[in-house]
Structure 1
Amino acid sequence: MTTPRILHCVSSLQVGGAEKCAVNLLTCQHALGYKVAALSFGKPAEPFQSVLESSGIRVINNNESIIRRLVRTVRILKGFDVIHIHSPAVIRAFMPVFPFLMGKKVLYTHHGEDSPDQKGMRLSHWLAALYINKDFAVSEKVKLSVKQRYNWEPARTDVIPNGVLLSKGDITAPATPFKFACVARMVPLKQIDKVVTAFAQADIPQSELHLFGDGPERPAVEAAVAKHNLQHRVVLHGNVLDEDEIYRHVDCLVINSTTEGLPMALIEALARGKPAISTPVGEIPNLDKRYHFCLFSEDDTAALSEVMKTMASSPEQWEMLARNGKQLVEESYSIEQVSRTYLNAVS
């Protein structure tokens, strides 16, 4: 049996949930002996590109002028058997060359509930329905959004969770200081400046807030830190790709988003025995009904500050949440299981 050649297609290799899912799948499939590569329409200097290349995984950048990009896209597609698309922007980029995808095995994963506000998005997805062999969404809410965005019937889309590399270490109880953390791009929907405000209002003795990620909202976050005079207790790490380094600074992950699918950072944290605080968005409340790993806060800084106090003051509850979350990930979210599901869909 010939080993399939698999191309994972992303709009960029910046730090983000869809990109991280693609990186995890590439890393797993490469380790299993598959011939894999990434096609990125971003720039070579983007963070996850160096991660892939350091693991010996080929990255193909395709960001030339339109005509040259389309000609090169056709050449690239000819070299692979399975095309796995991770972004609606890639679907749009493939629109002029869609006939060359008709003979391929094409997977498409919807990672979020929104699409980029670009012309041609709906038309490109109408054409994509002709060549996509199997369509996936990372949560039930994302699946339902596909109907609204592209008028695709929900029955054609299967739900498959994001997968992570499992951590072999045991759960370690929090030391002093207690460390809250956000691991996310600093964009408006993540509301990280409000996390800083809630942390200030909670005023928990011997506690810190660690912020991983960067983005256009960083000035607002820095302003919130300065406003509350928290420079000695809030650490802005910027983009850090080493997960072990990130979660060394985490006792509790804080998600304060207005919308989510299934955040990669959440699954990564739970895999390492770190519980979460979250707004009740996306698939998170449904997962918590299966294994209680999270304390929920409404989209309100006062409410969030109270939940942060509760998390930091109850070691027994923290340990229960941590163990439940780790068990959930081990049973349902290993990247090996997720990769197997994808490949079985086109075998």
Structure 2
Amino acid sequence: MDFAPTQEQAAARDLAARIFGDLATHERLRAAGTGSDGELWKTLCEAGLPGAVQDIGLLGLVLLLEEQGRTTAQVPFAASCVYGLLALSAHGSAGQRERLLPGLADGSVVVTGALPAAAVREGSRGELTGVVPAVPWLRDATHVLVADEARRLWLVRTVDAGCEPVELTAPWSAGRLTLTATPAERLGGGDGSGTGRASDGTVRDGATAAYDDVLATARTAFAGLQAGVCAGSVARAVAHTNTREQFGRPLATKQGVQLRAADAHLDTEAIRVTAYEAAWRRDEGLAYATHALTAAWWASEAGQRVVHAGQHLHGGTGADLEHPVHRHFLWGRQLDAYLGCGSELLQELGESIVRGSVRAEEDA
């Protein structure tokens, strides 16, 4: 496997780093409050970064999300690329792709996702009913990709649904989604019949395969976002401990501080490399479900350790809710919750490995 970015991926990453670095400043983040930064989102879209994901793949998207995470930039970049652009490119019908992909590329269409599968039911005419308590970036979205209780994927226009603002740990412009016989269209069109290759490499019915692929893609992408959040937290902690002195010496010269920072760095690298591997495997058409779960487990379990360490290494300064490092703490804990707690992910990973072993024995 080769995680070295292509020229196109590296160019997109460098451009994203410049835009996020220039516009996702402490002052602008404070001004945005719990909402999104519309000007930053417009700049990213005018630069062609959402549209570029079709060409640079999931690994390229992970590189871009790392740069977003470093600055905790408040835009629906991850959600719209995962639940919109990549989901439609892989599983949408020709009509859905023609209608929505251009808007997803220029930012006029924003898709978020109500995944994993929720208590949403399909009616007799294809309408949906149910409630999803919190959907990230729902307040920014024009469409929601909804997974019903049977793990089928539906596209819902937000103007047709009930959307009530809610506040999460991180400022993700979230909302409560209420569906009451709400019109919806199945992702891919038709009745979901047929077969498709799922993220674990097996051939399943088309609807299940699409759900598994989108969920694994989301886990990989948000793990990449967590890698950036953690890298930004560690970088702030290193800068602080190198300049903050105690008894005439920088805090960074103390062994306890060095060990804590080193552990946080290693945890961050573990999140990054597992996200890279899962993304690379998807781009290469290989099975990647267990790799996506591994990346999600590292992002959840190690991510919370890193952002706690970053805040603690700032000492009393880290307790200041207005300090930039506190945003990394909030984002890290939100991603931990969004990806699922470590024990749940570990159980799912173990069950997936067992199922794979059983299938291998049956095939033999």
**TM-score when scaled to structure 2?**
0.27
Task: Give the structure-1-normalised TM-score.
Answer: 0.28
